[in-house]
Chain A
Amino acid sequence: MTLDLSLLPDGGVPWLTASGAHADIVLSSRIRFARNVSGYAFTVRARDGERLRILAQVRETLPRVPSLSRAVVLRLDEMTAIERALLHERHLVSKELAGLEGSNEARSGAAVLVSDDAGVMVNEEDHLRLQVFRSGFDIAGAFQAATRLDREMGAEIPYAFHPEFGFLTSCPTNTGTGMRASVLIHLPGLVLTQEIGKVLQGLQQMGLTYRGLYGEGSEVIGNFFQISNQTTMGRSEEELAEHLSRVVRRVIEQEEEARRVLLRDAGYIIEDKLWRAFGTLRHARSLPADEAMNLLSGVRLAVGLQLMAGLSVYTLNKLLIFSQSAHLSLEAGRALTESEANLARARYVREVFANEAGSAGQ
């Protein structure tokens, strides 16, 4: 199967539009529910036939699940490694579902359903991972939509539920609500003012945790953090979502304060640093992924501080996702080596800047 991206409404990433609140700081808000279908062994223990049946069962219910009425079904087990990696780069599937760990194969029945801002990973660590993304800081909106999707799906497919333990998941760290609320947040101000350590420590004391841009096991690059609830039991879904929302609102305020301090105390140094980042992106002939991410972080900060005009956060969001290796490889029609990808990345970034940022400068 060839991945036809034109089938995906908004490329499966409508949150890139940066239309939500605080979109220059919070890239996206996400709610996901981990669910298992009653009567089957969990994914890792399920036989091939059982996983395929679960997928068939989910597809069969789609007409009766309004949240997924426009869903496109993508079979990861029929895709090339590049195509699977591309879906991962768009945050539509986890590394595990994409089969990018170890064996480099997707398990049979591995699929993702994508419909506007809602999606379902099928045969991930749990049978179903229902998720909703929203642009910017909008945990409440994502929560509402995800809850609706969960109820619609739960009315059609029997979930594994235990009166004491709640929704049963393969890993006990998800048991209970099975809910993970998270934001993808850009915190260069706190990093540059060296306040970030304190903030992250504070998160942990408040039952939250942080990771890199691509969640579990990914490292923090470009000052992008994913903040989420650490625990899933002992509190209701609403409480967990509201708690995260409250803490993130505070982190946004701290980031804004840090940015004010930076401008006040080190204005020209910051300005120089950010314009240099812009210059490199605009003219470099070879861009390693990590470097590109860090430079984009700088330009993003410059736009947020209104030091740079003519560049939209939407463009920066697109650059962040679409300049990654699998995207470049798919565009080239073959798997690029690292150095080839660096050249292709620099070319892609230059083109986007030439088209959309002609006016940025001076």
Chain B
Amino acid sequence: MLCDQCRERDAVLNLTQIVENAVTQLHLCEKCAAERGIETTVSMPKHPLGEFLQAVQQQALQLPGDAARCAYCGTSLRDFRASGRLGCAQCYGAFEQSLRDLLRRVHGSAKHVGRRYEVANPQLMERDAALSELRDRLQQAIASEEFETAATLRDQIRTLE
């Protein structure tokens, strides 16, 4: 049976609603059910990471695709769900709320209380990191003959240097 809402996917859920004494039956697919905020009865894995990933999956379904992607490294929640690994430090910002929930579940706390760390010479180190990133991109741009991009990158490198 097709989903009553999207008429594209198979319905997996039978929703009985009573509104002002009128009983309505809705057959929904997983995605449309999730959009309505209804938990589907997909078997829940026991592993804490698995549960989290499932939660992420449901959340991802509600979000437009782009919102669930790290702008820096391009890792999506879907990638994270598949591999269990984040792509970069910025992913922690991009998926902050979901991660806070996961960390709480895995560690019993989402707050680091151990050693604080400060980069010894932050400006210099950040500059070095940015420079090497730019140089790397410049090499790639030259290799793929994107000369306009290469020129822009070269200017950026000069400014930083």
Cβ-closest chain A residue relative to B106: A173
Are A162 and B89 CB-contacts (below 8 A) given A234-B107, A234-B108?
A: yes
Chain A residue total in the interface (Cβ 8 A): 44
Contact B85 A44 (CB under 8 A): yes
With A49-B136, A160-B89 in contact, do A234 and B122 touch (Cβ < 8 Å)? no
Question: Is A42's CB under 8 angstroms from B120's CB?
Answer: no
Kindly list chain B residues whose C-beta atoms are within 8 Å of the C-beta of A161: 117-119
Q: A172: CB under 8 A from chain B?
A: yes
Q: Which of A173, A233, A236 has most chain B Cβ within 10 Å?
A: A233
Asked if residues A39 and B126 are in contact (CB atoms below 8 Å), the reply is: yes
Cα(A240)–Cα(B118), bound, Å = 22
Complex CA gap A162/B72 in Å reads 16
Which of chain A's residues has its CB closest to B72's CB?
A: A41
The CA-CA distance from A36 to B39 in the complex, in Å, is 37
Nearest CB of chain A from residue B100's CB, rounded to whole Å: 8
B133 within 8 A of A: yes
Chain A contact surface mostly: loop
Chain A residues, Cβ within 8 Å of B36:
none
Smallest CB gap from A33: residue in B: B115
Query: How far is A37 from B132 in the complex, measured between Cα atoms in Å?
Result: 13
With a CB–CB cut-off of 8 A, which chain A residues contact B112?
A: 162, 164-167, 175-177, 233-234
B16 contacts partner chain A, Cβ-Cβ < 8 Å: no
- Complex Cα–Cα for A37 and B103 (A): 21
Given A41-B72, A162-B89, the answer on whether A176 and B119 have CB atoms closer than 8 Å is: no
- Complex interface residues of chain B between 110 and 128 (CB less than 8 A to chain A): 110-115, 117-120, 122, 125-126, 128
Interface residues of A in 53-72 (CB under 8 A from B): 53
The verdict on A156 contacting chain B, using a C-beta distance below 8 Å, is: yes
- B26 interface residue per 8 A CB criterion: no
Point out the residues of chain B lying under 8 angstroms from A240, CB to CB. 114
Q: Which of A159, A173, A207 contacts B119 (CB 8 A)?
A: A159
Residues on B with beta carbons closer than 8 Å to the beta carbon of A177: 112, 114-115
Q: Does A193 contact B (CB under 8 A)?
A: no
Near A by CB (< 8 A), chain B positions 83-107 give 83-89, 92, 99, 102-103, 106-107
Would you call B1 an interface residue if the criterion is a C-beta within 8 Å of the partner chain's C-beta atoms? no
Q: Does B34 contact A (CB under 8 A)?
A: no
The smallest beta-carbon distance between A208 and chain B, in angstroms, is: 13
CB–CB A42/B136 < 8 A = no
Q: How far is the CB of B145 from chain A (nearest CB, A)?
A: 18
Supposing A44-B85, A177-B115 touch, asked if A172 and B132 sit within 8 A by C-beta, the answer is no
A residues neighboring B (CB under 8 Å):
36-42, 44-45, 47, 49-50, 53, 125, 154-156, 158-162, 164-168, 170-173, 175-177, 179, 207, 231-237, 240
Given contacts A41-B73, A235-B113, could you give 4 more A-B pairs where the C-beta distance is less than 8 Å?
A38-B89, A160-B89, A171-B84, A233-B113
